[in-house]
Structure 1
């Protein structure tokens, strides 16, 4: 993973790095590795994660097919023409 710093703006580069680490799941994995997780708890957690992933995929497919309405996207801040 590589982050470039433009115009000596280290703060912005740190924000970009944190966002990338968040997307990769690094923070979640670090939190999970802090303490021992019993195998039965690990199976239950992984099964729950799989159920959530499948529900999300089914919801997105239904939205694409028009069975349920699409979520409205919020307009990005600071992107006006002013």
Structure 2
């Protein structure tokens, strides 16, 4: 990161000092850069990707097993079942 330092002159008012500081910050592009990366997430490592994939495979096999045993309804077709019927 860039540190911006402004030293006030003897007879300079606080508002003028603040205006000079904001002008320097704006021209340096610090705020623009920080706003651009504000919500950026880091790339997941190979280990975490593999872990997530294994977890989803395990969950999928558990659900298929429960469907075969009849403990879960088979609604994989995407159609909603009518409960009132």
TM-score, normalised to structure 1, is 0.39
Higher relative contact order (CA 8 A, sep 6+): 2
Q: Report the structure number with the largest CA radius of gyration.
A: 2
Which is richer in helix? 1
